Structure 1
Amino acid sequence: MTGIIGAMDEEIAKLQSLMDIEKTGKIGGMEFFLGQLEGKGIVLVKCGIGKVNAALCAQTLIDKFSAVKIIFTGVAGAADPELDIGDVVIASDTMYHDVDAGAFGYLRGQIPRLPVRAFPADPDLIAAAKRAAEDTVGSRVFIGRILTGDQFIANKEEALRLGSELNGLCLEMEGAGVGQVCYYYSIPYLLIRCISDKADGTAPKDFRSFCQQAADTAARIICGILRHT
């Protein structure tokens, strides 16, 4: 069973319309949709915004639905000047940008007493996503680190500074929470983000419309991943 997560309704609506829903259920305030997509068993869920919601959702997918891999989809703000609105970023790994235990000798982004600083995404899922994304959106597909924090970064200088210091391509609020849970359980995971803004306060005027466009793109990519894994 593959778990597929989005933080907002707009990020899962397209996938929900494409899948054959066999059963629904609520756990911890989250509604889970069980069914088939591209001939594969999936569980689709909206986790809500933020790291704790995302981690709780990933844990629930593992504990209650025996998920063997987890894919997170949604939008993000650019942290690299090369990225433009509509570009697709596939995570090579995820890392927190708002964790700092440097006073105890840890690198920024590293959880104390955890041996890793970043949580690697699954290589097979990355390869499948790259192939599916290139078939969907062409050349504007990037693979690299995605940075997570419980902050909406709307300052361009701050976004670019974080991207430069932590070697990240984009900023969002959930991914590393999923990555950390999957790291603990050795569950393959992947994060796919569509760039919604340049982290400078100038998101598309019709953000809801853009989210729909981004969700459509992500849905096609996820269908491609399911076909090839």
Structure 2
Amino acid sequence: MTVGIIGAMEEEVSGLAARLAEAKEEVRAGMRFLTGKIEGKEVALVCSGIGKVNAAVAASILIERFHADCILNTGIAGGIAPEVKLGDIVLSTACLEHDFNVTAFGYEKGVIPRMETSVFPADQRLLELAKTCEEELASGVTVHTGRVVSGDLFVASREKKEELYRDFHGSCCEMEGAAIAHTAHLYGVPYLVIRAISDQADMKATENYPEFTAQAIENFLKLTLRMLKAL
């Protein structure tokens, strides 16, 4: 079994990269793919770069070239739901692209025309496994399950945050997860998004982001490592 792991930024994958045994490197589409073993599991790890297109390309390469049997997307996100606080973790139940908008043709926001679904469910087995790994986290870290909404936009206003919660019932927002989910759906490959909250997606988001990023990364790294051990 090969586990594909995608992080958008170097700081989101460096902790995992440092733990790779028997590491090898291959560059595809300008992205550095690292393969090896973590916790005895075969892993293909990539820093995709920020945004939906980068994430979708990375996911495709993990599946086509490295034969990933499942994909984990780890990283940080902005909290949307009222109960989701700084440092918490959100495990995706499903993902949706919030910036897909063809309402001019009568579709609801987020709907992708001529697809059977625009909401991509996470793999239930991966989700349940992640939920059993909560005990590895530091005390005070709360794990939520919910919808991850993605778009090529850093959300930093109360109005946009409220819109994403009202229209899409999002638990958190970021810029890659739904593109990975969409790609995994097309290939029929199981996926899960694991996001730690670095900001509250409001007018203080740009202030909170650098302050809480390091702790958020530590939180999702612990959970991801525990999952790899249990897989």
TM-score range, shorter chain: over 0.9
Report the AA paired with residue 189 of structure 1: Y
Deviation at 1:213, TM superposition (A): 2.3
- Aligned residue in 2 for 1:61: 62
Taking the aligned partners of 1:205 and 1:181, their CA distance within structure 2 comes to 32
- Aligned residue in 1 for 2:212: 210
Distance 1:16 1:169, change over 3 A: same
Deviation at 1:55, TM superposition (A): 0.2
How many aligned residue pairs are there?
Answer: 229
- Aligned residue in 1 for 2:143: 141
- Aligned residue in 2 for 1:159: 161
Deviation at 1:201, TM superposition (A): 3.1
Deviation at 1:52, TM superposition (A): 0.3
Deviation at 1:106, TM superposition (A): 2.5
Report the AA paired with residue 158 of structure 1: K
More displaced 10-residue stretch of structure 1: 52-61 or 137-146: 137-146
Taking the aligned partners of 1:185 and 1:109, their CA distance within structure 2 comes to 21
Deviation at 1:185, TM superposition (A): 0.8
Q: Decide whether the 8 Å contact of 1:156 with 1:198 is kept in 2.
A: no
- Give per-residue Cα distances to partners, 1:30-54, cap 9 Å, x unaligned: 0011000011000111000000000
Q: Note the residue ranges of structure 1 that are not aligned, 5 or more in a row.
A: none
- Aligned residue in 2 for 1:52: 53
Report the AA paired with residue 28 of structure 2: I
Report the AA paired with residue 41 of structure 2: K
Deviation at 1:198, TM superposition (A): 0.9
- Aligned residue in 1 for 2:99: 98
Q: Decide whether the 8 Å contact of 1:12 with 1:215 is kept in 2.
A: no
Instruction: Give the TM-score normalised by structure 2.
Output: 0.94
Deviation at 1:210, TM superposition (A): 3.2
Deviation at 1:100, TM superposition (A): 1.5
- Aligned residue in 2 for 1:26: 27
- Aligned residue in 2 for 1:173: 175
Taking the aligned partners of 1:184 and 1:9, their CA distance within structure 2 comes to 27
What percent identity do the matched residue pairs reach? 40
Taking the aligned partners of 2:208 and 2:102, their CA distance within structure 1 comes to 39
What is the RMSD of the two structures over their aligned residues, measured on CA atoms?
A: 1.6
Taking the aligned partners of 1:198 and 1:209, their CA distance within structure 2 comes to 12
Taking the aligned partners of 1:66 and 1:127, their CA distance within structure 2 comes to 23
- Give per-residue Cα distances to partners, 1:169-219, cap 9 Å, x unaligned: 111000110011100111000001111111113247574563332222212
Q: Note the residue ranges of structure 2 that are not aligned, 5 or more in a row.
A: none
More displaced 10-residue stretch of structure 1: 201-210 or 121-130: 201-210
- Aligned residue in 1 for 2:194: 192
Taking the aligned partners of 1:140 and 1:15, their CA distance within structure 2 comes to 22
Taking the aligned partners of 1:59 and 1:161, their CA distance within structure 2 comes to 31
Report the AA paired with residue 83 of structure 1: V
Alignment of 1:2 onto 2:3:
yes
Distance 1:29 1:14, change over 3 A: same
